Structure 1
Amino acid sequence: MRILLTALVLLSTPVLAQPPPASAPTTERFIRQLVETRYFNSGRPTATSFTPDEQTLFFLRTREGSRTVVLHAFDTTTGQTREYLTAESLNAEARALQEPVRAAPRGLSSYALSEDGEKLLVGMSGKQYVVARASGKVTELKLGAGAMDVRFSPDATQVAYVRGHDVYRLDLATNTERAVTKGGTEDKSHGTPEFIATAEMMRFSGYWWSPDGKSLAYTESDTSGVEKLVVPDALNPEREGQRLAYPRAGKPNAQVRLGIIPVTGGKTTWVQWDAGKYPYLATVRWPAKGPLTVLVQNRAQTEELLLAVDPRTGSTRTLLVEKDDAWLTLHQTFPHWLADGSGFLWYTERNGASELELRDATGKLVRSLVPPDAGFYDLVGYVEQDGTVYFSGGTASEERYVWRLSPGGKPTRVTAERPALEQAKLSKRGGFLALSSEGPRRMKNTTVLKADGTRVGELPSLAKVPTLQPRIEVRHVGKERYPTSLVRPRDAKPGVKLPVIVDIYGGPGMAMVYQSMMQHLTDQWLADQGFIVVKLDGRGVSPTADAKLRKPKYDWPRQILDEQVAALRALAAEVPEMDLSRVGITGASNGGYMSALAVLTRPDVFKAAVAVSSVTDWRDYDSHLTERFFGLPDEQPQAYEQASLLTHVKAGKPMGKLLVVHGTADDNVLFFQALKLSDALFRAGQPHELLPLSGMGHMVFDPVLAERLWEETARYFHAHL
């Protein structure tokens, strides 16, 4: 074993088995520029919001040559854009500075539009401001330090927020605050989502306003019984490490309950459901009309209840039950209640694939809106007046489009451009779309369209054009028609064989192959070092694939790796320049795990791997995701044993070359997972390398470290391929 320190690359005399060709195109500092510009997205419009009258589309964007974020307004009548709100207009002392490229964005950090469109809630430098659009009056809110998750009440006369483990509200007329909940502690917090809610359920809030603004629903998350893990600061041992309530697979989770309390404080009414059978509070909705609604799941995530809550008593009634033999897919867009409370839209996979349903207020099915064969991905909007649905999706996993579907009709594309990845927002009245689109030869742009597809204008971007243009080849290969993408060196010569690197993620149902320039930028950089870089998807990534392929369980790592090998060989049959005697594999997070698994179990195919931020033993990862795919450890011990990398580490057993890379401050996949793997390999006499990224978390955002890591990745593959 060799440990490579991040302070310097400790390869005193690196041996490059096959140095890059002298004529290879240079992309000096490209990786550093990639991270500094957030993959060339700095300067692009983000966070779009239509006003209720559809006259204005707000968005955030940095100024030219600056990291200062400004709120802009696009006029849907004229198609013109103007700066609407700046740091200077909020605070006379705030100045837009010309920041170094590596500095964090300055100026506005967030904004939200009130439901009536008359006020803006704006965040800047840790403070919150309310701006009255008609008068331009700016009010700095007296929230106190550490306020989080600040949100308007439905009538925008108040805001609520969380501070110090309790929920507060502030009256905007008097700018005075009042505690809503009391007694919150680190182990029993009020109004904040627990670890797995944010990490896996995609539920990022722990409180919800009542429609009349007189009450709040909030979570109480009791983590006193959850195992506490410490993430130490390895470079600063005098500092106390970060203490996490981290529920590992099979171990106790946070105990979460939902309470309803007047905004003036007082007695909490607790919502009643069978929390023993359904411990996961996955989703909460409190619509303008219709009941307070909660979605709760069993721990196996094979059964869930959608419940309507009586806020006065906390009693519940069941609107619907969903079951799945493998697992239920959480979709936080749903339930989507109609404005008049007469029913809601619901996402289901009950009939074999993703489907959008309309249900009445009792939960009874009215009709299917988007059928399972349409490849539904997400809801863009629903026009209640005529029942028209706008959604993103499609049947090809590598493309995604925005579709319009009228009652009784068939889905039709809103635009004609292809291939592309599209997403959109629909104005509340359904008259306009803000459609973002990217493709294999272009970065993302946002166009404003009328609902019929007529172009109104484009939101102006100031983003830099990537200095490196990927040359992407997307193919469907083999009799199984595996989706694949391939990037060659820009100076590649026909017929000349090159080593191959597989870029992988490999989670169940997770695609890697997309018609996207942005998602192939690092692939092209790596290819230009003298490799053919490929992405490979199995049959299960298709949105209309058989459920057993889309949702493999228990033995899924082997199944997915087998399909990677099959797709690799099928692609090589069409691309003779791919040298299958020299194949490497790399990825991060689940891709790191799959990379390490590949060289441990299939060294006949994969000769070298760079595994970044990898799980080693799934019993050490969080409960919600892990148990979804493997079941409970006590009930499925063989699944966990077979999936653990440690199982496949044996003295004398052939394996490929392995570089393990991990951030020492990773609070998702903790650093000790890398140490466990390295220790097992060392004890088994298996040579490998360990690169700890000091102070880094699950992802590398430091431009210098990112640059060094990619250089080391290329060096490693040159040395071993």
Structure 2
Amino acid sequence: MPTEDNTAQAPAAEDLPLQFARTRRFTLGAPRGLTVSPDGERVLFVRSADGRSPLSSLWLFEDGEERVLVDPLALGEEGEVPEAELVRRERARETGGGIVGYATDAAVRTVVFALSGALWVAGTDGGAPRRIPTAGPAVDPRLSPDGTLISYVTGRALHVVRVDGTGGRQLAAPEGPEVSYDLADHVSAESIGRARSSWWSPDGSALLVVRVDNSPVQRWYLSDPSDPAKAPRALPYPAAGTPNAEVSLVVVGVDGERVPVRLPRSADPESHPGGAWTDRAFEYVVEGGWDGAGPFATVQTRDQRTAYRLAIDPATGETEVTDRHHDDHWLEFTPGTTALARRGAAFPDGLPAGLEVRAILGSAGDTLYFTASDEPTETHVWAYAPRSGFTRVTEEPGVHTAVLGGDTLVLDSRTLHEHTVTVLRDGKPTGRIGVLTERPVVTPRPVFLKLGERELRTALYLPSWHREGAARLPVVVHSYAGPGLQTVVRAASWHHTVNQWFAEQGFAVLSVDGRGTPGRGEAWRTSIHGDQLTPVLEDQADAVRAAAERYPDLDTGRVGIRGWSFGGYLAAAAVLHRPDVFHAAVAGAAPTDLTLYDTHWKERYLGHPDVQPENYARCSLVAHAHKLTRPLMLVHGMADDNVVPAHMLRFSQALLAAGKWHSVLPLVGESHLVTKEGVADTLLWLNLDFLKKSLNV
């Protein structure tokens, strides 16, 4: 059994950027995808063999010990991954290979997974895995609750086969070249967060399946500029203001019977919130599933202000609205709450003041487990029971979550100093699942601050060798600062490590979670409605000034800013609009023209570009290119199908037309998440070199 501290040391001669790339941002070797059996006896998870191996195996923790259940190398070398699986992995930001996902029966006795399109089944009893014949390369297999049938997708069609390999047949075939069954559309996977597109009935007789028709969606084309003989890849991309895919639901019986679900077309106009732009059409399927009453789904309007929870009659496809939700800004679903709401309010007595729920984890008896924050830099596991009230399960400052089954609770805890996965049975530790990630060669030393009148949560990184008053330090701001992600957390993360590395090169580094980031309540989160730029940029500038007042060694005459994705957008905007504070920027994968980003994500914050063009004009960067007076380097993956390269190219074109000097670094073959050795590491050095030269360091 692994020792309590499984963190390996990297070779002493290796620098942080190279280690960062080789460990895929220190993610390799971390257990993930944990599943606990209903009896609490078994815990399944995937994990690579160490902090350098990109191939994940399927593991089992049982009787206080862990063992490999399936090693992908023992099944043969990994071959070509199906295109649909590559897309799924890109949406999930999957960086490794091998067994990256799996599904189980209700009892967690049988497991299915796909490996390079081959379908495999294994038992937790230790028997040898068996390959199951399929009609073609299998994607996203799912096991019926009783463990007798496997559903999978091949060629955009839904198939089913028995676990013994017999009885294979097609259940739902695409009616055209743009139609698919059991595959998530771009918006659902990228912005809504619904990667799953089918759900088995409890008795295994039918599935609730998502049908996607991409024919209304405009086509974009991504090419490989390094290979002019290679044809461009067509991409159905629903940019803001353009048509979405048509997403519907079908109840498919294993006997071949199909019942289309009659989803409501639009929300009730009398209860739907108004606004400068409203669209009551139900275009988004947020979730689906089955409970004791049958299949259910949650649908959301195009403007995201109304959602209906629907009970579905599997025999007729008729639906009944069981719950309605409305919001004047937008509806944001807390993980685990939508299905739970069908059984009534999770907390009938209300929440303690200042506590923000992050996710509902599940129930054990009459005890409900959830994650919540009373301080935005920390997330803890909590328990609620009607008789005992609220109890915080985790104590050490950090970011904690959990998975439960029966009387077993598996705590996944990240603090600043370690990452542990602890198995609790009846509240008592019975062992740990090994965390095999590498310890960084640079030790992060963040100082957590609350700055300014808005108490901006900020992390400050100073060189370990710096002595107060000995020298003025140029400043680098490295924030994400966008919706859905925090970087200022009391938990080990690659952000802390990379920021400390920059600090060791002679900088003071700041990371700031401003308005629009999660963890500080609805008013804080929705303060960017209609304007995703002004308040966010103001918070970054205020944090720099406030930090310098508290730490006089910070040289506010030399301030750089760097970031990726929304953080890259923020960096470019900073040197355009606030050159008085920010003197150089590195902008990676920056969405510079917000009309080029997807419907669900951009319309949520800025509305419809045809109705509220002023919001897009205010927040997009291309039209403001003429304002550039500071050094700027643009970096972009040329295979990025999330923030497509057109963002960088249009912005660069506008900068050239305005006579503005800037640097452009195209990353050939790289997508939105850059982890490849030789690219991710070199990119850090290039960031450093550019900022040093631009700030006269």
Q: Given the two structures, how large is their TM-score scaled by the length of structure 1? A: 0.86
CA contact (8 A) 1:247 1:622 kept: yes
CA contact (8 A) 1:599 1:607 kept: yes
Deviations 1:106-134 (A, max 9, x none): 65443333112321224444322222344
Aligned residue for 1:344? 343
- Counterpart pick for 1:86 among 59, 68, 71: 71
What letter is aligned with 1:344?
R
For 1:150 and 1:85, the matched residues in 2 are separated by 16
Residue 479 of structure 1 and its aligned partner are, at CA, apart by 3.2
What letter is aligned with 1:54?
G
Residue 181 of structure 1 and its aligned partner are, at CA, apart by 0.9
For 1:135 and 1:535, the matched residues in 2 are separated by 47
Residue 287 of structure 1 and its aligned partner are, at CA, apart by 2.2
Structure 1 segment 301-700 matched on structure 2, within 5 A:
301-337=304-340, 343-344=342-343, 357-358=345-346, 367=348, 370=351, 373-383=354-364, 385-386=365-366, 388-407=367-386, 409-417=388-396, 419-427=397-405, 429=406, 431-440=407-416, 442-452=417-427, 454-495=428-469, 496-508=471-483, 510-518=485-493, 519-538=495-514, 541=517, 543-545=519-521, 547=523, 550-650=526-626, 653=627, 655-700=629-674
For 1:540 and 1:642, the matched residues in 2 are separated by 17
For 1:487 and 1:274, the matched residues in 2 are separated by 52
For 2:488 and 2:577, the matched residues in 1 are separated by 24
For 1:478 and 1:27, the matched residues in 2 are separated by 41
Residue range with higher mean Cα deviation, 533-542 or 178-187: 533-542
Judged with a 3 Å threshold, the aligned counterparts in structure 2 of structure 1 residues 713 and 255 are, in CA distance, closer, same or farther, namely same
Judged with a 3 Å threshold, the aligned counterparts in structure 2 of structure 1 residues 232 and 84 are, in CA distance, closer, same or farther, namely closer
For 2:564 and 2:611, the matched residues in 1 are separated by 29
Deviations 1:236-264 (A, max 9, x none): 11111111110111111111111222223
- Counterpart pick for 1:199 among 175, 183, 190: 190
Deviations 1:517-571 (A, max 9, x none): 3231111111112111111122554634352654421123111111111122112
For 1:664 and 1:303, the matched residues in 2 are separated by 37
Residue 588 of structure 1 and its aligned partner are, at CA, apart by 0.6
For 2:517 and 2:107, the matched residues in 1 are separated by 41
What letter is aligned with 1:567?
A
Deviations 1:53-97 (A, max 9, x none): 212222333335755533333234xx3333344347x64x679xx
Judged with a 3 Å threshold, the aligned counterparts in structure 2 of structure 1 residues 549 and 47 are, in CA distance, closer, same or farther, namely closer
CA contact (8 A) 2:563 2:570 kept: yes
Aligned residue for 1:23? none
- Counterpart pick for 1:54 among 40, 49, 66: 40
Judged with a 3 Å threshold, the aligned counterparts in structure 2 of structure 1 residues 528 and 289 are, in CA distance, closer, same or farther, namely same
Is 1:212 equivalent to 2:203 in the alignment? Answer: yes
Aligned residue for 1:141? 132
Aligned residue for 2:8? none
What letter is aligned with 2:140?
D
Residue 148 of structure 1 and its aligned partner are, at CA, apart by 0.8
Aligned residue for 2:86? none
Structure 1 segment 696-707 matched on structure 2, within 5 A:
696-707=670-681
Aligned residue for 2:683? 709
Judged with a 3 Å threshold, the aligned counterparts in structure 2 of structure 1 residues 695 and 128 are, in CA distance, closer, same or farther, namely same
Is 1:257 equivalent to 2:248 in the alignment? Answer: yes
For 1:85 and 1:555, the matched residues in 2 are separated by 49
Residue 587 of structure 1 and its aligned partner are, at CA, apart by 0.7
Residue 435 of structure 1 and its aligned partner are, at CA, apart by 0.8
Residue range with higher mean Cα deviation, 497-506 or 41-50: 41-50
CA contact (8 A) 1:420 1:515 kept: yes
CA contact (8 A) 2:207 2:253 kept: yes
CA RMSD of aligned residues (A): 2.5
Identity %: 31
What letter is aligned with 1:69?
S
Residue 643 of structure 1 and its aligned partner are, at CA, apart by 0.8
Aligned residue for 1:113? 104
For 1:237 and 1:682, the matched residues in 2 are separated by 25
Deviations 1:475-497 (A, max 9, x none): 11233321110111222232111
For 2:564 and 2:484, the matched residues in 1 are separated by 17
Residue 137 of structure 1 and its aligned partner are, at CA, apart by 5.4
Residue 167 of structure 1 and its aligned partner are, at CA, apart by 0.7
For 2:445 and 2:524, the matched residues in 1 are separated by 34
Residue range with higher mean Cα deviation, 308-317 or 48-57: 48-57
Residue 720 of structure 1 and its aligned partner are, at CA, apart by 1.0
Structure 1, unaligned runs of 5 or more: 1-25, 96-103, 346-356, 359-365
Residue range with higher mean Cα deviation, 45-54 or 239-248: 45-54
What letter is aligned with 1:505?
Y
CA contact (8 A) 1:602 1:655 kept: no
For 1:107 and 1:685, the matched residues in 2 are separated by 49
Is 1:71 equivalent to 2:80 in the alignment? Answer: no
CA contact (8 A) 1:142 1:176 kept: no
CA contact (8 A) 2:141 2:152 kept: yes
For 2:315 and 2:185, the matched residues in 1 are separated by 26
- Displaced runs of 4 or more, over 6 A: none
Structure 2, unaligned runs of 5 or more: 1-11, 79-94, 267-278
Aligned residue for 1:246? 237
Question: Secondary structure at the residue paired with 1:535?
Answer: strand
Judged with a 3 Å threshold, the aligned counterparts in structure 2 of structure 1 residues 379 and 332 are, in CA distance, closer, same or farther, namely closer
Aligned residues: 654
What letter is aligned with 1:463?
T
- Counterpart pick for 1:720 among 677, 681, 694: 694
What letter is aligned with 2:536?
I
Residue 654 of structure 1 and its aligned partner are, at CA, apart by 5.4
For 2:119 and 2:533, the matched residues in 1 are separated by 46
Question: Secondary structure at the residue paired with 2:655?
Answer: helix
Deviations 1:315-373 (A, max 9, x none): 111111111111110345333359xxxx536xxxxxxxxxxx33xxxxxxx82564573
Residue range with higher mean Cα deviation, 42-51 or 578-587: 42-51
Is 1:164 equivalent to 2:142 in the alignment? Answer: no
Residue 40 of structure 1 and its aligned partner are, at CA, apart by 2.5
CA contact (8 A) 2:119 2:138 kept: no
For 1:510 and 1:63, the matched residues in 2 are separated by 28
What letter is aligned with 1:393?
A
Residue range with higher mean Cα deviation, 396-405 or 592-601: 396-405
- Counterpart pick for 1:32 among 18, 33, 40: 18
For 1:82 and 1:119, the matched residues in 2 are separated by 16
CA contact (8 A) 2:476 2:560 kept: yes
CA contact (8 A) 2:17 2:680 kept: yes
Judged with a 3 Å threshold, the aligned counterparts in structure 2 of structure 1 residues 416 and 175 are, in CA distance, closer, same or farther, namely same
For 1:493 and 1:174, the matched residues in 2 are separated by 68
For 1:639 and 1:499, the matched residues in 2 are separated by 34
Residue 265 of structure 1 and its aligned partner are, at CA, apart by 2.1
Question: Secondary structure at the residue paired with 1:292?
Answer: strand
For 1:458 and 1:499, the matched residues in 2 are separated by 43
Residue 661 of structure 1 and its aligned partner are, at CA, apart by 0.5
For 2:71 and 2:179, the matched residues in 1 are separated by 39
What letter is aligned with 2:15?
R
Judged with a 3 Å threshold, the aligned counterparts in structure 2 of structure 1 residues 27 and 252 are, in CA distance, closer, same or farther, namely farther
Judged with a 3 Å threshold, the aligned counterparts in structure 2 of structure 1 residues 413 and 464 are, in CA distance, closer, same or farther, namely same
Judged with a 3 Å threshold, the aligned counterparts in structure 2 of structure 1 residues 654 and 170 are, in CA distance, closer, same or farther, namely closer
Judged with a 3 Å threshold, the aligned counterparts in structure 2 of structure 1 residues 539 and 682 are, in CA distance, closer, same or farther, namely closer
Q: Given the two structures, how large is their TM-score scaled by the length of structure 2? A: 0.89
Residue 466 of structure 1 and its aligned partner are, at CA, apart by 1.5
What letter is aligned with 2:29?
G
Judged with a 3 Å threshold, the aligned counterparts in structure 2 of structure 1 residues 141 and 534 are, in CA distance, closer, same or farther, namely same
